[in-house]
């Protein structure tokens, strides 16, 4: 294995995305909307990648 990309289940993807992007400097690689809401995002910062997944609700 050369790389692992964690998937973090979060209550609010948009709010979590703001934290990772605006405060920690991650770049948004791709997103997915479901029923008009941001439901998933993949981020990177250098060699580090992670995904945010909305739990719904």
CATH code of residue 43: 3.10.180.10
Looking at residue 2, what is its pLDDT?
Answer: 87
Write the pLDDT tens digit of every residue in 3-57.
Answer: 899 999 999 999 999 999 999 999 999 999 999 999 999 999 999 999 999 986 5
Q: Tell me whether residue 22 is in a domain.
A: yes
Q: Tell me whether residue 2 is in a domain.
A: no
Looking at residue 55, what is its pLDDT?
Answer: 85
Domain that includes residue 33, residue range: 7-54
Collect contacts of 7-11 with beta carbons under 8 A, ≥24 apart.
7/50, 7/51, 7/52, 7/53, 8/50, 8/51, 8/52, 8/53, 9/53, 9/54, 9/55, 10/52, 10/53, 10/54, 10/55, 11/54, 11/55, 11/57
Prediction pTM value: 0.89
């Amino acid at each position: 294995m050369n790389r692992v990309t964690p998937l973090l289940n979060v209550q609010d993807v948009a709010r979590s995305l703001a934290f990772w992007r605006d405060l920690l400097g991650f770049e948004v690689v791709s997103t997915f909307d479901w029923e008009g809401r941001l439901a998933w995002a993949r981020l990177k910062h250098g060699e580090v990648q992670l995904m945010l997944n909305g739990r719904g609700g």
